[in-house]
Amino acid sequence: MQASSAVFFIFGATGDLARRKLFPAIYSLYREGKLSDHFAVIGLARSQRTREQFREDVLSSIEEFCRYKPCDGKHEEWAEFVRHFEYKTLDINHIDGFRELNAFTEEVENEFSTPGNRLFYLALAPELFGRVSSHLTEGGLLESAGWHRLVIEKPFGYDLGSAKQLNEQIREVFREEEIYRIDHYLGKEMVQNIEVIRFGNAFFEPLWNNKHISNIQITLGETVGVEERGGYYDQAGALRDMGQNHMLQMLTMIAMEPPSRLVPEDIRDEKVKVLRSLRAFASSEDVSANVVRGQYTEGDVKGIHLPGYRQEDKVDPDSNTETYFAARVFVDNFRWAGVPFYIRTGKRLPVKTTEVVVEFKSMPNNVYLGQKYKLEPNLLVIRVNPMEGIYIKINAKKPGTDSEIEPLAMDFCQSCMIGINSPEAYERLIHDAAEGDSTYFTRWDEVATAWSFVDRIAAVWQEQPESLAYYPAGSWGPSAAHNLLEQDGHHWWPVN
Ligand code: BG6
């Protein structure tokens, strides 16, 4: 479906996010005919650039990061595309610049016949969101005839208090339904597929509860360290960087009840109910017993020596920030009572992977099979990244043997199919925002509830710096994370 005709304002247009994700996403949408012919992009940043220089930047970003290449015999198409890109130097502290921007936007709107719809994408540090929002309104940018939408990136605050403050600033200008808070994991193909797998298959939905599921494991593993983001990361840590948002969002998709209607508010209502049902850790002992935090030290990976976290650029050499956490959490509702959700994420792990493993309860050891065979539990594995697909592990007799069972994987690898070229998360999300579909954006009550859950953990960690465990770069995290499951008679299933 073609997105509505609009002007897209990219604040932070010379930054990393715009270069790696936003321009390539806009180009892919264009190539796939999902953008209206009547669109324009206005790049905004502090630095001086001419329109031509900006268009060159856009071209090189797309050449480097887009799944479509602009110059494979498509020069004319490229020229037509890039004609829609404008650039304005803007100091967001000065209201005059916003007034000029408004006048300029009206010219652009005339040229491309857009009906006054304006989408403001803030690829900026969150502390600037409030100022930009108020200058947008004071500068007259929200007075055009069409709709106005604000798209913002994480981190949405540092804790519940700061998130509330941020939210209040934005809400002075925009209504909740005009705010699109990005969690790019919700734009991933297989994360969106979770709903369909669950609610569209008679194989799964009847079993999707504590009567049949033994435990659920969610792994968000990364091989990279903190790269050039040490300054930000050292303040945030894994719990805030990945836990409060991506991890809990994935958990809600796995655990939510079917919505009564497939409309954004009903879906988000169900998600927020899961977050409210998360069992809050009652005491510091509770946190210590259920949550493990770790930091990577130096290590060798495939013959390459990697520095420890404390040696990374812009990281405090005595830093106590976690680059890994694992937790056992419970969703205290009728469906999930008693089923542990084991979640873990970390930097410098052996594999880049996002994967959900649903482990089913073992079959009763009945006389016929139990005595003869060693039965493994059935697994449903949802692979989100970098492989996309699902597989199911079942028990079957090993051919030619009498008493041996072989776990058999029935594998559907979506990304292996020839011609499958899944859209990037940002393509989906930009398109949805322009369409006014907020299903895969986080609503304020989700953000707030996730922060209250995470804040309790962070508060205990702050009082107990000695709770930090260490793991060498390239390993699967501190051993305590394995003990967490062993105590329950489980283990982390190896990821692929
Ligand atoms: C970001 C985090 O939100 O997600 C990064 O800030 C992390 O630290 C990234 O590397 C992971 O995203 P993906 O899509 O590569 O799994």
pLDDT tens string 75-94: 788 899 999 999 999 999 99
Among 152, 246, 353, 428, residue to substitute to test ligand 1 (most atoms within 8 Å of Cβ): 246
In this model, does residue 446 exceed pLDDT 80? yes
Binding site members for substrate: 184, 188, 222, 241, 347, 352
| Tokens representing residue 446 in the block | 């989700």
* Mean pLDDT, residues 169-177: 97
Burial 289-311 (b: 16+ CB within 10 A, else e): ebbbbbbbbebeeeeeebbbbbe
Give how far the C-alpha of residue 305 lies from the chain's centroid of Cα atoms, to the nearest Å: 29
Instruction: Point out the ligand 1 atom lying closest to the alpha carbon of residue 425.
Output: 14
Catalytic residue among 38, 84, 135, 246: 246
Q: What is the DSSP string of 240-276?
A: IIIIIIIIHHHHHHHHPPPPSSSSHHHHHHHHHHHHH
Q: Is 222 a pocket residue for ligand 1 (Cβ < 6 Å)?
A: yes
Instruction: Point out the ligand 1 atom lying closest to the alpha carbon of residue 233.
Output: 8
| Tokens representing residue 437 in the block | 């579909």
d(CA 146, CA 138): 17
In this model, does residue 369 exceed pLDDT 90? no
For ligand 1, the distance from its centroid to the CA atom of residue 384, given in whole angstroms, is 13
In this model, does residue 1 exceed pLDDT 90? no
**CA 306, 311, 315 angle in degrees (round to 5)?**
130
Among 222, 226, 321, 442, residue to substitute to test ligand 1 (most atoms within 8 Å of Cβ): 222
Specify the pLDDT at position 228.
87
Instruction: Point out the ligand 1 atom lying closest to the alpha carbon of residue 385.
Output: 16
* Mean pLDDT, residues 467-473: 97
Instruction: Point out the ligand 1 atom lying closest to the alpha carbon of residue 354.
Output: 16
In this model, does residue 256 exceed pLDDT 90? yes
For ligand 1, the distance from its centroid to the CA atom of residue 201, given in whole angstroms, is 30
Average pLDDT, the chain: 94
For ligand 1, the distance from its centroid to the CA atom of residue 398, given in whole angstroms, is 41
Specify the pLDDT at position 72.
61
For ligand 1, the distance from its centroid to the CA atom of residue 129, given in whole angstroms, is 21
Binding site members for NADP(+): 12-19, 46, 91-92, 154
High-pLDDT (> 90) share of the chain, %: 84
Q: Is 322 a pocket residue for ligand 1 (Cβ < 6 Å)?
A: no
d(CA 47, CA 14): 8
In this model, does residue 368 exceed pLDDT 70? no
For ligand 1, the distance from its centroid to the CA atom of residue 320, given in whole angstroms, is 21
pLDDT tens string 52-78: 999 999 999 999 998 888 766 567 888
246 is catalytic: yes
Question: Of 148, 481, 151, nearest to 327 (Cα)?
Answer: 481
Among 242, 323, 324, residue to substitute to test ligand 1 (most atoms within 8 Å of Cβ): 242
Specify the pLDDT at position 204.
93
Instruction: Point out the ligand 1 atom lying closest to the alpha carbon of residue 229.
Output: 8
pTM of the full structure: 0.95
Question: Which helix (H) or strand (E) is 237 found in, with range?
Answer: helix 230-238
pLDDT tens string 289-322: 999 999 999 999 889 999 999 999 999 999 999 9
* Mean pLDDT, residues 163-173: 97
Give the pLDDT band (50/70/90) at residue 397: confident
Least confident of 8-17, 62-71, 132-141, 198-207: 62-71
Instruction: Point out the ligand 1 atom lying closest to the alpha carbon of residue 222.
Output: 10
Report the relative pairing of strands 340-346 and 213-221 from DSSP bridges: parallel
In this model, does residue 196 exceed pLDDT 60? yes
Which DSSP letter does residue 236 get?
H
Q: Is 353 a pocket residue for ligand 1 (Cβ < 6 Å)?
A: no
Q: Whose CA is nearest to atom 2 of ligand 1?
A: 241
ipTM of the complex in this document = 0.99
Among 153, 183, 184, residue to substitute to test ligand 1 (most atoms within 8 Å of Cβ): 184
For ligand 1, the distance from its centroid to the CA atom of residue 475, given in whole angstroms, is 19
Specify the pLDDT at position 373.
76
Give the pLDDT band (50/70/90) at residue 142: very high
Specify the pLDDT at position 74.
67
Q: Is 385 a pocket residue for ligand 1 (Cβ < 6 Å)?
A: yes
